[in-house]
Amino acid sequence: MPKRFVKVTTPSEFGGSLGAQDYVLHQWLPSTSAAEPEIRHTIDQIFNDLQYIDTGDRGFVAAFLDGITEPLKQLQAAFGLQLVVGTTHGKMKLPSVEWNPEPQQIDWERAYYIVAPDPAFFRAGDGPIHKLGTSCREAFAIATDSKEDLPRHVWTSTDEVIRAFEGSPSWCAKCRVDAPELLLA
Ligand SMILES: [Zn+2]
């Protein structure tokens, strides 16, 4: 699985993202949006039941995917947001138990979902500006960083970035190669 975020635009694409052991949801919402309560409600409709999903239960999965059809559509069409998913692989240490004092390590897959403006440009601290969804590894690392206090800023258009940096933003070179509109910006 490549380390990049892919867009989830339909319930069947969402279905393809199921199967990780757990998931994390990040919401990169424009703080000034008047629609914010509605947006949060829509996101809740998609993610409320995700923790109960048993991917072996096809009826349950089908009902879940039916249920997210409208909110997923609304997120994109009414609010101009995108939902993306990326997975990370690691080891999870199980606590030692009486009958097995050696702590066990098991493979662990985690799905990261991000609801963000479409497109979304972001940076950590004073670093270069990345675009969400490129093959840039640094962008992936920032977006999946679990530190809540990571200073992260999100812009919703190249124009907005250019204005914020008075015409000379420091784009990430890797993201720039992946996103033709940045070559012109
Ligand atoms: Zn980048």
pLDDT digits (tens, 9 = 90+) for 99-130: 877 878 889 999 999 999 999 999 998 999 99
CA of 167 to the centre of ligand 1 (A): 19
Strand bridging mode 81-93 / 121-124: unpaired
Of the pLDDT bands very low, low, confident and very high (cuts 50, 70, 90), residue 29 is confident
Residues within 5 A (CB) of ion ligand 1: 130, 136, 139, 172, 174-175
DSSP state letter for 53: -
CA of 181 to the centre of ligand 1 (A): 14
Does the pLDDT at position 170 exceed 80?
yes
Cβ atoms of 115 and 72 closer than 8 Å? no
**CA dist 50 to 54, 112, 162, Å?**
9, 13, 38
- Residues 55 and 132 grouped into a single domain: no
- Residues 72 and 156 grouped into a single domain: no
pLDDT tens string 3-20: 899 999 999 999 999 989
pLDDT at 33: 73
pLDDT at 144: 92
CA of 159 to the centre of ligand 1 (A): 18
- Residues 27 and 108 grouped into a single domain: yes
Does the pLDDT at position 97 exceed 90?
no
Does the pLDDT at position 149 exceed 70?
no
- Residues 1 and 19 grouped into a single domain: yes
- Residues 154 and 177 grouped into a single domain: yes
Please give the average per-residue pLDDT across 147-159, as a whole number: 82
pLDDT at 25: 94
Residue 83 domain-assigned? yes
Please give the average per-residue pLDDT across 166-175, as a whole number: 94
CA of 51 to the centre of ligand 1 (A): 31
pLDDT tens string 44-76: 999 999 989 888 999 999 999 999 999 999 999
Range of the domain at 66: 1-93+104-118
Question: Which candidate, 78, 134, 89, places its Cα nearest to that of 112?
Answer: 89
- Residues 45 and 21 grouped into a single domain: yes
- Residues 18 and 69 grouped into a single domain: yes
Residue 98 domain-assigned? no
Of the pLDDT bands very low, low, confident and very high (cuts 50, 70, 90), residue 2 is low
Of the pLDDT bands very low, low, confident and very high (cuts 50, 70, 90), residue 140 is very high
Residue 99 domain-assigned? no
